[in-house]
Structure 1
Amino acid sequence: MKASPATIGLGVTMTIGYGTLYYSFSVLAPEIAREFGWGQSFVFGVFSFGLLAGAVAAPILGRLVDRFGARLILCLGSVTASVALALFAVMQNAWQFAVITLAAEFIALAVQYDAGFAALAQTHGREARAHITLVTLIAGFASTVYWPLLQWLLTWMDWRDVYLVLAAMNLLIALPIHLALPRARLSEKPVSRVEEVSAEITLDGERRRRMVLMATAFAAGGFVVSAVGATLLVLMRDLGYATAMATLAGSLIGPSQVTARLIEYARRNLFSPPLTAIIAAVAMALGLFMLAGALVQPTVTFAIAFAVFYGAGQGLTSIVRGVLPLHYFGVAGYGRTMGTLASTRIIASAIAPVSVIWLNETVGPHAAIAALAGMACIAVLATLALTRR
């Protein structure tokens, strides 16, 4: 597949969407807390509630994508995201911070993968797999780009001005790219209300079974990804690893993700979407079993093996989120399907960090890792059941 400018552009806007509305929080939140004298628990607690707002937004957004087209939703998302980020720059108290954070996370899905994948599906139909892979390959560098960029900006300006820069990125870079995206193909036009009702009526037992299993697999995988991302350094420290070793393992996850996505992009016709989903789920589970091996002896081998297997599985999981619903359910109603699946995944992702940290503190790292491995196994079993003919 020849990489189209629209697909590359969408990869850039997804990078902006995740960088400005997700990864920015871990860098700017401490600055906000310090200025207002708030506790870190309050600031990150508000962010967790904001993520739950995304679970409410997902089904609504999905229906809007089907009815009006993903291109329009992406454009409106860029505008509203820029407004929300600009409001952070002028807020003055805790309730304003809470309201703006909830609004920003409610809007976020309109400029992140769910809307982006829908745009690709509406443009390329069932041939969107390669385009989805390329977008995740580009946007996978969001944290790599934005964390150092934000730290550098803070050496030149305060956090309020940084939020204005982030707002400008959405308005001046992402919005023009979204406006230039091709419209949905005529054969895959947005779904009308009559078609939505018809789709609901024809939701037969097999489709319902697949939806439940896919939602279960995505939610379990989302739980693992969210928890590992937030708690890995703490868990590895409590397992007996030095900070340097834990940091090295964490830093290897990113390159493993990119390598897996590159292989998927180059050899995308080698494996079907269901087989790719199985490989992703199994790789994540193997990684966590490697980490569990550190309960016996925290060796370098276990840490590196965990990073390689887990990183590869996580890298493929982002692709699977877009291509597996397309494979089983097609383009019609794709936005609504993605919204339904995203809702359960976001809820699981929001509760994962606090759940795993609570287990780690009250029972120990063995319980926390057992919970992660258990959720990874649920993802594997649900994926295997889904792909069974």
Structure 2
Amino acid sequence: MPSYRTIISALSVGQILCWAVMYYGFSSFVLPMQRDMGWSQPEIMGAFTLALMVWGLATYGVGAAIDRGQGRAVLTGGALLGAAGCALWSQAHSLPLLYAAWAILGLAMAMTLYEPAFSEITKRFPDRYRQGITAITLVGGFASTLSFPAVAWLLVALGWRPALMVLALVLLLVAPLHAWVLRMPWKVAQPARADSAGVVVSDHATLRQAMRGRPFWLLTATFTLYAFALSTIWAHLMPAFEFKGLSQTEAVAVMVWFGPAQVLGRFAFLWLGRPMSHRVLGLIVLALFPLSLSVFVLGKQNLVLVGFAILFGVANGLITIVRSNIVPDFYGHEHVGRISGAMSGIALCTRAAAPFLTAWALIGLGGYTGLLWMLLVMGAMSLALFAMARPPQN
């Protein structure tokens, strides 16, 4: 049976590659597809919107499958679907084919990116999952650092269609890694019991019990607003840099700081913040997010924009730790797959329209400056909602 360290290491490799290919890679392909195919930006963003919608709709089913002990099939199948989606994307000569490819990629993201791995670790190692989640996020933080320069090089060297075939091959390597490291099953947890008054007898709430409380909806609203703003930024990042007058080379020089900043924030948490509750950490992180956007809106010098990348990277890195630990902190680990899946599904379905809607909203908002101010307000609202959330009392 693979050891704890082996499982964490293998899943970390899988996460950095899946994130780099399926999520961070999209923004780098927007402008090449526009130039080659003549598609408008809203038409291209619609494909990413569809992927996010599929991702959101699939999260509960994915979480339920992991709760039933099917994590190996989920993570392995997700990598295979991702490879198929990239291959189909490379052959997209029409918008329907592009949308079909991203529907497949949306399902693949639901089956691979962070939460399925976190839920699987929480199930396998209920006494050590916090360390495992932090370790995976440390490695996964380099996904954007790997993706932007690697994809930029592939685009120059090969063109966007052959570059996608290379990315498909990368995901094909992830599938056997997941299959090998998760080959040993774990014991499926029994449902939480409740007394005649409906009060939970154990500390492990079911999804229905969680949804009856105010904290579930406050947390869901928090991460919905945050996710909406975040998906808009990632989808529009390269065009936003172009709007500010930066070349692709200058933009990449700023964006490569995202990954190190994410990892720096997570290391700082390990070094200084481990006694800190995840709720306090969440308040700090959610305050950093709108601060970073204000720096991006007002900054013009490359050095100032690097400051944005560092603040944004720290916030984006630590929010993953907050989100992945807050569910077991509030509700226990026995039904973490279903509760996390439902919470994320609501957030993802809501944010799915973000890239598409904001592509049209750019006209009314007067360009990317207005759009970024709108996202800053959303970040402030998510902070306020999170501050109102308290752990439920059984």
TM-score strictly above 0.5: yes
Whole-angstrom distance in 2 between the partners of 1:150 and 1:305: 23
SS in 2 for 1:68: coil
1:255 aligns with 2:263: no
Structure 1, 35-44 or 15-24: larger mean CA deviation: 35-44
TM-score for the superposition, normalised by structure 1: 0.82
Q: CA deviation at 1:382?
A: 1.6
1:59 maps to 60
Query: Does structure 1 conserve the Cα–Cα contact (< 8 Å) formed by 2:148 and 2:256?
Result: no
2:341 maps to 339
- The CA deviation string for residues 110-167 of structure 1, in whole angstroms up to 9 with x for no partner, is 1111111111111222531221122112122222223333343445545444433333
Letter in 1 for 2:376: A
SS in 1 for 2:276: coil
Question: What aligned pairs does 1:53-202 form with structure 2 within 5 A after superposition?
Answer: 53-90=54-91, 93-125=94-126, 127-154=128-155, 157=158, 159-181=160-182, 183=184, 185-186=186-187, 189=188, 199-200=206-207, 202=209
Residue 330 to residue 356, structure 1, CA distance change in 2 (3 Å): same
1:316 aligns with 2:318: yes
Structure 1, 371-380 or 227-236: larger mean CA deviation: 227-236
- The CA deviation string for residues 9-42 of structure 1, in whole angstroms up to 9 with x for no partner, is 1111011212222233334455555555544442
Whole-angstrom distance in 2 between the partners of 1:155 and 1:302: 28
Query: How many residues align structurally?
Result: 377
- The CA deviation string for residues 234-255 of structure 1, in whole angstroms up to 9 with x for no partner, is 66787xx663897766554443
SS in 2 for 1:243: coil
1:385 maps to 388
> Which residue of 362, 372, 375 corresponds with 2:375?
372
Whole-angstrom distance in 2 between the partners of 1:384 and 1:80: 38
Q: CA deviation at 1:322?
A: 0.9
Q: CA deviation at 1:74?
A: 0.7
SS in 1 for 2:126: helix
Whole-angstrom distance in 2 between the partners of 1:85 and 1:233: 20
Whole-angstrom distance in 1 between the partners of 2:292 and 2:271: 24
Uncovered stretches (5+) of structure 1, i.e. residues with no partner: none
Query: Does structure 1 conserve the Cα–Cα contact (< 8 Å) formed by 2:211 and 2:217?
Result: no
Larger relative helix fraction: 1
Query: Does structure 2 conserve the Cα–Cα contact (< 8 Å) formed by 1:360 and 1:366?
Result: no
Whole-angstrom distance in 2 between the partners of 1:7 and 1:242: 41
Query: Does structure 2 conserve the Cα–Cα contact (< 8 Å) formed by 1:18 and 1:142?
Result: yes
Question: What aligned pairs does 1:293-308 form with structure 2 within 5 A after superposition?
Answer: 294=298, 306-308=308-310
Letter in 1 for 2:260: P
Query: Does structure 2 conserve the Cα–Cα contact (< 8 Å) formed by 1:10 and 1:178?
Result: no
Residue 147 to residue 190, structure 1, CA distance change in 2 (3 Å): farther
- The CA deviation string for residues 78-132 of structure 1, in whole angstroms up to 9 with x for no partner, is 2332333333445554423322221221222111111111111112225312211
Whole-angstrom distance in 2 between the partners of 1:30 and 1:52: 23
Uncovered stretches (5+) of structure 2, i.e. residues with no partner: 195-204
Whole-angstrom distance in 2 between the partners of 1:178 and 1:223: 32
Query: Does structure 2 conserve the Cα–Cα contact (< 8 Å) formed by 1:257 and 1:313?
Result: yes
SS in 2 for 1:332: coil
2:202 maps to none
Residue 199 to residue 363, structure 1, CA distance change in 2 (3 Å): closer
Query: Does structure 2 conserve the Cα–Cα contact (< 8 Å) formed by 1:123 and 1:183?
Result: no
1:269 maps to 274
1:229 maps to 234
1:330 aligns with 2:332: yes
Whole-angstrom distance in 2 between the partners of 1:82 and 1:246: 27
Query: Does structure 1 conserve the Cα–Cα contact (< 8 Å) formed by 2:62 and 2:111?
Result: yes
Residue 148 to residue 329, structure 1, CA distance change in 2 (3 Å): same
Q: CA deviation at 1:260?
A: 0.5
Residue 85 to residue 252, structure 1, CA distance change in 2 (3 Å): closer
Whole-angstrom distance in 1 between the partners of 2:236 and 2:37: 26
TM-score for the superposition, normalised by structure 2: 0.81
- The CA deviation string for residues 331-377 of structure 1, in whole angstroms up to 9 with x for no partner, is 11111112112123223433334555555542446643442222112
Identity value in percent: 22
Whole-angstrom distance in 2 between the partners of 1:326 and 1:312: 23
RMSD, aligned α-carbons: 3.5
Structure 1, 363-372 or 17-26: larger mean CA deviation: 363-372
Structure 1, 244-253 or 313-322: larger mean CA deviation: 244-253
Whole-angstrom distance in 1 between the partners of 2:189 and 2:168: 29
